């Protein structure tokens, strides 16, 4: 894995995630180089990313004044990524909320200036409104199939869009990127914790899609990245309206994973320890570790019937590749595929953040083969 911060896996992981979402190395190096030879300081981290974001926002203003709105939109999309990359590493509070709100503002402006084919939909659910964006499919199919894309432990709908952009759309598949319980707006602005039964928010999103006349709600796929590798298969196992499912990073028994992480104080985590109780909706780490035991697919995957794809990295430091093999063997799907990326070919790290495009293209091709009519 490319480690911009050689002795700091969480910061290097965040750096690579930003690159995966469209950051440029020059932007990041200008603002973050000063942190490479100092002791880790969350405040310095947040300020550095804010600097990167604000620089792009200021340059976007100049683009707008010159009449170059699409250029401004591209800069604001990066500004959104930089705001969110900074706030991911700092605990809940006013500073985190302010950075997050700035990221939402930058994203909305980017949609306008760059004329991105995105429509925001506020989905009613038992957990309150779930904000999602529908990425329109390319082509002349009036009712294309649609894939629902879930984030994981800390990946928002804005980052999800930046990960895939038009990869599915160019294949004639609409895509929904979603903030669901424990993620994005529900967590940050309304304190809605995650839940193990992700078929509930998924059912609400599908209900909303069924009311539309611009997608084919009888041809819905679902996939998730990182912890989304739990959310998507869990939802599919109990939601028969889903026709195909993929895990961009396998999850087997996330509670056992966290028990081991905490016992060893593993350095190979993507965000600080505060994230678990925050996402779980508990007051203490101990309560979070108890609640997270419900996030297991051990008894769920045998109930899965839909075509199932698992994409994993051979050298994944967060979730061992052995968990991917366990999940694959346990899955009840007759049509199932496990694709493990190796160090030699690239993409062997967590969710291929070190080299994401082959995995991104693979996922889109696989869903096209499952959701689109045979040629």
Q: Note the pLDDT tens digit of each residue in 17-47.
A: 999 999 999 999 999 999 998 889 999 999 9
Q: What are the strands of the beta sheet with 174-178, ordered from one edge?
A: 118-123, 130-135, 174-178, 146-150, 220-225, 242-248, 308-313, 336-341
Fold type of domain 8-116: de novo design (two linked rop proteins) (1.20.1440)
Phi, psi of 28 (to 5 degrees): -70, -40
pLDDT band at 117 (very low <50, low <70, confident <90, very high): very high
Contact 81, 159 (CB under 8 A): yes
The label of the residue with tokens 């939802």 reads 235
pLDDT at 374: 80
pTM of the model: 0.97
pLDDT at 2: 87
Contact 271, 89 (CB under 8 A): yes
Apex 25 CA angle, 270 and 57, nearest 5 = 90
pLDDT at 373: 87
For residue 87, what is the enclosing H or E element? helix 69-87
pLDDT band at 1 (very low <50, low <70, confident <90, very high): confident
pLDDT at 261: 96
CA distance 300 to 323: 14
pLDDT at 205: 98
Output the average pLDDT for the chain. 97
Mean pLDDT of 123-137: 98
pLDDT at 78: 98
Domains 8-116 and 117-375 share a fold: no
112 or 1: which leads in pLDDT? 112
**Which tens digit of pLDDT belongs to each residue from 283-297?**
999 999 999 999 999
Could you give the 3-state DSSP secondary structure of residue 288? Answer: helix
pLDDT at 115: 97
pLDDT at 209: 98
pLDDT of residue 352 exceeding 90, the answer is: yes
pLDDT of residue 143 exceeding 80, the answer is: yes
List the CATH code of the domain at 117-375. 3.40.50.1820
Domain spans of the chain, in order of start: 8-116, 117-375
Of 5, 51, 60, nearest to 30 by C-alpha is 51
pLDDT at 375: 75
The tokens describing 307, both together, are 């075509």
pLDDT at 177: 98
Of 117, 319, 131, nearest to 225 by C-alpha is 319
pLDDT at 37: 87
What is the percentage of the chain residues whose pLDDT exceeds 70?
100
Of 111, 110, 113, nearest to 67 by C-alpha is 113
pLDDT band at 154 (very low <50, low <70, confident <90, very high): confident
The label of the residue with tokens 């739990």 reads 230
pLDDT of residue 106 exceeding 80, the answer is: yes
pLDDT at 101: 98
């Amino acid at each position: 894995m490319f480690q911009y911060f050689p002795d700091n896996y969480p910061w290097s992981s965040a750096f690579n995630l930003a690159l995966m979402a469209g950051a440029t190395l020059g932007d990041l190096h200008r603002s973050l180089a000063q942190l490479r030879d100092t002791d880790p300081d969350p405040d310095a981290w947040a300020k550095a990313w804010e600097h990167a974001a604000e620089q792009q926002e200021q340059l976007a203003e100049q683009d707008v004044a010159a009449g170059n709105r699409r250029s401004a939109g591209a800069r604001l999309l990066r500004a959104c990524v930089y705001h969110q990359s900074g706030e991911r590493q700092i605990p809940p509070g006013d500073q985190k909320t302010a950075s997050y709100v700035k990221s939402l503002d930058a994203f909305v402006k980017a949609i306008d200036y760059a004329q991105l084919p995105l429509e925001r939909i506020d989905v009613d659910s038992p957990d309150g409104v779930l904000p999602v964006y529908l990425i329109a499919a390319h082509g002349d199919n009036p009712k294309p199939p649609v894939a629902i894309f879930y984030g994981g432990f800390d990946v928002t709908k804005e980052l999800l869009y930046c990960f895939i952009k038009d990869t599915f759309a160019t294949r004639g598949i609409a895509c929904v990127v979603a903030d669901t319980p424990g993620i994005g707006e529900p967590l940050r602005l309304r304190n809605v914790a995650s839940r193990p039964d992700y078929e509930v928010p998924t059912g609400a999103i599908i209900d909303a899609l069924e009311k539309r006349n611009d997608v084919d709600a009888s041809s819905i796929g679902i996939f998730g990245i990182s912890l989304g590798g739990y959310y998507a298969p869990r939802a599919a196992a109990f939601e028969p309206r889903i026709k195909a499912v993929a895990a961009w990073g396998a999850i087997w028994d996330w509670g056992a994973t966290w028990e081991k992480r905490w016992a060893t104080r593993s350095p190979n985590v993507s965000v600080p320890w505060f994230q678990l109780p925050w996402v779980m909706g508990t007051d203490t780490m101990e309560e979070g570790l108890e609640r997270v035991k419900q996030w297991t697919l051990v008894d769920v995957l045998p109930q899965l019937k839909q075509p199932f794809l698992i994409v994993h990295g051979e050298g994944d430091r967060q979730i061992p590749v052995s968990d991917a093999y366990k999940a694959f063997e346990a899955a009840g799907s007759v049509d199932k595929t496990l694709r493990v990326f190796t160090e030699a070919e690239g993409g062997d790290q967590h969710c291929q953040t070190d080299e994401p495009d082959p995995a991104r293209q693979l996922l889109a091709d696989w869903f096209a083969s499952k959701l689109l009519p045979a040629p």
